[in-house]
Structure 1
Amino acid sequence: MAYTKVFAIRARLDDRVKYAVNGEKTELDERIVYTADPEKTDTVRFVTTLNCRSAETAFAAMQKTKKKYKKTGGVLGYHFIQSFAPGEVTPEQAHEIGCEFARRLFGEDFEAVIGTHLDKAHPHNHIVVNSVSRTDGHKYHSSPESYYNDVRGTSDALCRENDLSVIAPQGKGKH
């Protein structure tokens, strides 16, 4: 039963990227036995980038795209949150679903960072996306229509494909 949120980033895109990949929230160590092999002592970190070399260089790549197309103002990016019910998915499943969610929505066009946070009872993905397309310079615009049709529709489709519950809409959406 994933639910989604989206926030426009109007200042400090770099802070949102850092938050999404925060090691204290994206690491899974051997103490969490239901998802990690107890014989392993390495830490598993759930961070992936889309159309960037690494999480460490993602902000610089996003800035380079903005400068290339002379679109450094206005909405700098978008912060999507995709959250799952406690116990419904493993951290690995949550992360893979988050990565596929970003791929389906943004494909080859936009740079994004996906971090799966495990610091709460419910695994949740933070996806920070550049507002400017790296392929043609157009800006992504979030609207109620794009949220319900694209964002929520994609998340719900992924939940169904992975045999997860889906929240049935009841009446009008809320802000």
Structure 2
Amino acid sequence: MCVSAPSGASRQFAETRQFVGTGRCRNEAQHIIQSFPPGEVTPERALLIGQELCKALFNDEYKYLLAIHTNYKK
């Protein structure tokens, strides 16, 4: 399931943590940064590339949060 609101994503992660058990594990998160030089890709293309990367890495076995930042300086 895909949600676009941060509060919805936070709620989904919390519900999964409760459903799975204690909500504690040794590694709850990975932080991956994907970066492109300004003007190299559109925000829409960066989103698509990020989605493809997450699908390849997590294969729908894990939840992930994907954010695209467009507030770079030109």
Above 0.5 in TM-score?
Answer: yes
Does residue 72 of the first structure (1) align with residue 24 of the second (2)? yes
CA displacement, residues 111-135 of structure 1 (integer Å, 9 cap, x when unaligned): 111111112248xxxxxxxxxxxxx
Structure 1 residue aligned with 2:39: 87
Whole-angstrom distance in 2 between the partners of 1:56 and 1:75 = 17
Which structure features the higher share of strand residues? 1
Instruction: Provide structure 1 residue ranges, at least 5 long, that are not aligned to the other structure.
Output: 1-47, 123-175
The aligned amino acid for 1:115 is A
- Of 90, 95, 100, the residue aligned with 2:52 is 100
Counterparts of 1:33-72 in structure 2 under 5 Å? 54-64=8-18, 66-67=20-21, 72=24
CA displacement, residues 74-128 of structure 1 (integer Å, 9 cap, x when unaligned): 2221111101111100000001110111011101211111111112248xxxxxx
RMSD over aligned Cα atoms: 2.4
Q: Are the structure 2 counterparts of residues 85 and 71 from structure 1 closer, same or farther at C-alpha, using a change threshold of 3 Å? A: same
The aligned amino acid for 2:67 is G
CA displacement, residues 4-32 of structure 1 (integer Å, 9 cap, x when unaligned): xxxxxxxxxxxxxxxxxxxxxxxxxxxxx
- CA apart distance, 1:71: 6.5
Aligned length: 69
Q: Name the TM-score, length of structure 1 as normaliser.
A: 0.34
The aligned amino acid for 2:9 is A
Question: After the TM superposition, which segments of 4 or more aligned residues of structure 1 sit over 3 Å from their partners?
Answer: none
- CA apart distance, 1:63: 1.4
Whole-angstrom distance in 1 between the partners of 2:71 and 2:47 = 14
The higher radius of gyration belongs to: 1
Q: Are the structure 2 counterparts of residues 92 and 120 from structure 1 closer, same or farther at C-alpha, using a change threshold of 3 Å? A: same
Which structure features the higher share of helix residues? 2
